[in-house]
Structure 1
Amino acid sequence: MHAQTFAPNNSQPQQEGLLTGNARLYRATVELLGKASIRVNGTDPWDMQIRRPGVPERAFAQGNLGLGEAYMDGAWDAEELDEFFARLLGTRMTDSIKPLRLLGYALTAKLLNRQDMKRARQVGEVHYDLGNDFYAAMLDSRMTYTCGYWADASNLEEAQVAKLDMICRKLQLQPGMRLLDIGCGWGSLMAYAAQHYGVECVGVTISREQAAWAQEHYGDALPLEFRLQDYRELDEKFDAIASVGMFEHVGRKNYRTYMQVANRCLNDDGLFLLHTIGKNVRRSTPDPWIDKYIFPNGDLPSIGQIGDAADGLFVVEDLHNFGADYDKTLMAWFKNFDAAWPRFEAELGPRFYRMWRYYLLSCAGAFRARDIQLWQWVLSKEGVRDGYRRERI
């Protein structure tokens, strides 16, 4: 590990110092974590090492926002942060913690359209425009920033190729087809589909850095067009549509609009593949820490919300859940990020390191606990005659 050495501290003076904050909340923390087989200042690598007073107060007052900010401040640690979260979230006990201080945030997320055309660009500026060199150091060689498919893969590169190829086969791509990629990222799917399946591709993104990198990297070598454009502005026909890791930014107020855009842009006999992270319950609030520090205005959908949005517009031909594979993908990203950190430390600083570590490893733990999922939906406008033959590796 860079930037932080973890070591348990079981000294009685420290325990007493922690109790000078709020003894009741400290005991509640010990009890809650104990149900997940996590100890405070224990010796297991997933145990919580509290370094400063106030961590329980921040966590109970603000949920994951308080817990995450306390971690960024160095107030607590865990050597295996991913396993800490896998154990904690696996109990489902945190679902019942609903801090009153976050009531306003919850109401805003529920009532307002936080992903309208003006606000939708914020995630591009805050997250995806961090710098192409930074992402190149963390991701695979194709800059694929979505879950890999690990069924027969032994490393990140193989897992991403397997995922890209599976998408192309699920869409039944053929030479000469025209593919739309909604939220195309750095163009990995488009380039792979053009190289291996002979299709022409149009991709839209709200990230200037992504569009610039893709245009410079691929140039005129492949039949690819990259647009800095909101998906709601699309109004032309394509033989197939893919959207990989973008629906998480659409927002519940816009799910129906998104499906209507896909419907109007897809030829009657075409297929639409939607690849998205999802949650297990319909009525929930976006994670406030992720919203503040990683993905502004993000909103994970449930199966029910996606079904409602597609109602009357699409036939669901296939639904494939391989959420457990995101755990492996995130751990591979963290390994790359951690190894490359000395190149970025002077520019980004130690607080960013702790923020990014918390992001990657807490999400890995959430997928490991099956608290969140990864779905690939295959949709058609009128149903595939004689039935859709699903593709797996």
Structure 2
Amino acid sequence: MTKQLDTQHRQQHLTEEMPSQSQTYAPPAVLAELAAQAGVSFNGEAPWDIQVFDERVYRRTLTHGSLGFGESYMDGQWECMELDALFCRLMSADIEKKLTGWARLRLVAEIIRHNVCNLQASHRATQVGEKHYDIGNDIFEAMLDSTMSYSCGFWQHADSLEQAQLNKLDMICRKLELKPGEKLLEIGCGWGGLARFAATHYGVEVHGITISKEQQRLARERCKGLPVTIDLMDYRQLQGQFDKLVSVGMFEHVGPKNYPIYFDTAFGLLKDDGLFLLHTIGIDQTSHNVDPWIDRYIFPNGKLPSAEQLSQALNGRFVLQDWHNFGADYDPTLMAWWQRFDQAWPQLKHKYDERFYRMWKYYLHSCAGFFRSGQGQLWQLVLSKRGRQPIYRSIR
């Protein structure tokens, strides 16, 4: 019923925004042909078709690729009834790779930038916190469930966002074989959801770190009275020894140039008989660039790993005990976040403008399409040092 009402709302909104027939702008042949390869039309009747209100959309897309396409949406120059379905189709057909001209040159420039520069060096570590995680806890409190989990839920035995996230947190704790009194290090602790859950339900002492001041402030409030410490620091500053390590949704900010130091640091922090659970988004094949719109507006300096890159980085460092992919679960997670954000918008819009609303809508729906297309994966790896006893048994 909720999905039906949401669809009706989108249809009503699109009808209100639709230009009259005399205002319909025909696309250049090259864009029309590319869109057709994905089963998408400009000004068509399918819910995933692109309704163009300003012909500058075409020039911005041809010139700047996905960045121009996203910015023109933020500026209200086009609309789509089902953005998630649109992006699933575009990504399934690898449309961006087929762009030519200036957009292709800009893509090559991005590849060079990511290969020459270490965009995730320590002096840049706080940029994503300032740009994204510190935008306002009110946004994330409205969008997320009560655990404040900003990562993929596990929906196998869940029918709500809350239950999916609780199931995910419990699965992580069971995969780590947490025992009362153990010391757990969480690299990238967000708003303290996992730390709070592990300390409350598994009796462990948790040390969490984050590069977001707003996350640290709220996480400390949420974990007050529990054996949990939350520090503001980069992972490269960590010292000590821990029984177990966990990192959920942080590895995407590490970058390939830093994979060796990341895993070397984790290796040194983990006790010989310990376990390390790494929860990260992954991509289906190695890529040397990132989506420029996501890089500019959502996660600056981020880079998703491929299985090939992870395997190379782990080689000679950790033993891979388990590799679990449940990337399909990110689609319903993102759409649940969107519904909660959209419902809360009347209470948020006094602080954030319409362009922010459209940016956030584009972000959540494009990511849902990314996972639905199969390009996006969600991995949980359980790692150990060589020779660890007892034998590890996989958990699902």
TM interval, shorter chain, is over 0.9
Whether the 8 Å CA contact 2:114–2:288 is kept in 1: the answer is no
Whether the 8 Å CA contact 2:189–2:248 is kept in 1: the answer is yes
**2:4 matched to which residue of 1?**
none
1:224 aligns with 2:233: no
Q: How far did residue 11 of structure 1 move?
A: 5.8
The one of 175, 182, 194 aligned to 1:177: 182
**1:14 matched to which residue of 2?**
23
Q: How far did residue 177 of structure 1 move?
A: 0.7
**1:382 matched to which residue of 2?**
386
* Cα distance per residue 1:225-246 (max 9 Å; x no partner): 1000110001210000000000
Identity of aligned residues (%): 52
CA distance in 1, matches of 2:196, 2:97: 41
Q: How far did residue 383 of structure 1 move?
A: 4.5
Q: How far did residue 217 of structure 1 move?
A: 2.2
1:68 aligns with 2:70: yes
**2:6 matched to which residue of 1?**
none
Extract unaligned runs of 5+ from structure 1: none
**2:131 matched to which residue of 1?**
126
Q: How far did residue 9 of structure 1 move?
A: 5.2
CA distance in 2, matches of 1:78, 1:86: 13
**1:93 matched to which residue of 2?**
95
Whether the 8 Å CA contact 2:133–2:214 is kept in 1: the answer is yes
Give the partner amino acid of 1:88: L
Q: How does 1:79-228 map to 2 (within 5 A)?
A: 79-97=81-99, 99-219=104-224, 221-228=225-232
1:329 aligns with 2:297: no
CA distance in 2, matches of 1:35, 1:229: 46
Indicate the RMSD between aligned Cα atoms, in angstroms: 1.7
The one of 260, 285, 288 aligned to 1:256: 260
**2:33 matched to which residue of 1?**
31
CA distance in 2, matches of 1:384, 1:330: 37
**2:345 matched to which residue of 1?**
341
Give the partner amino acid of 2:339: K
Extract unaligned runs of 5+ from structure 2: 1-8
CA distance in 1, matches of 2:212, 2:380: 23
**2:245 matched to which residue of 1?**
241
TM-score normalised according to structure 1 size = 0.94
CA 1:96 to 1:388, structure 2 compared with 1: closer, same or farther past 3 Å?
A: farther
CA distance in 2, matches of 1:326, 1:287: 18
CA distance in 2, matches of 1:283, 1:140: 32
* Cα distance per residue 1:181-204 (max 9 Å; x no partner): 000001111111111111100000
Give the partner amino acid of 2:192: G
Alignment size in residue pairs: 383
CA distance in 2, matches of 1:11, 1:144: 43
Q: How far did residue 10 of structure 1 move?
A: 8.3
CA distance in 1, matches of 2:95, 2:75: 25
